[in-house]
Amino acid sequence: MSGKIKSGLLAGAISGIALGFFLKGIEAVTGKLVYTLLLNIDFIPVIGQINWPEWIEFVFHLFISLIIGVVYSIGSSRYFPQQRKAQAILAYVLTLPTVLLYFPLTYLAIKQTPGLWDFTAITYWTLGHLIYAAVLFVAYTREYTFD
């Protein structure tokens, strides 16, 4: 496996875990169901009908984060090698669609999630994903040796 893919998987795993812990903490402290929303897959045909344990739902979340990490790593190394500012911007550009997913995920959810226009929940969701992008960038730019 190439160093780019390994770096992307590691950055995706670290940032995905950070996002999950952040939103789980927010939900525990405030009662806003942002972590529930992050893990929710109940609207997906077939797999959404299974009552998965939380850790499996978290693995689903991490799988998506791993994909984002690999896309980020390949994009950074191919288009912005040694350009830290551009790599940071790319992390936020790749994360922006996940912020906007708040609306369709909330709308489609069957189980209880935050309200579609709950400004506080939207703010926590957005802050969590901004942290995700920052952690993705930092985790990727750390010096790891995989080659």
> What is the band of 142 on the pLDDT scale with cuts at 50, 70, 90?
confident
What total of structural domains would you count in the chain?
1
Please check whether residue 147 lies inside any domain of the structure. no
In this prediction, residues 38-43 reach a mean pLDDT of: 96
Q: Which domain holds residue 49?
A: 3-141
Cα 23 to its chain centre, rounded Å, is 10
Residue 146 lies in a domain: no
The confidence score (pLDDT) of residue 3 equals 85
Residue 145: predicted pLDDT: 52
pLDDT digits (tens, 9 = 90+) for 95-130: 999 999 999 999 999 999 999 999 999 999 999 999
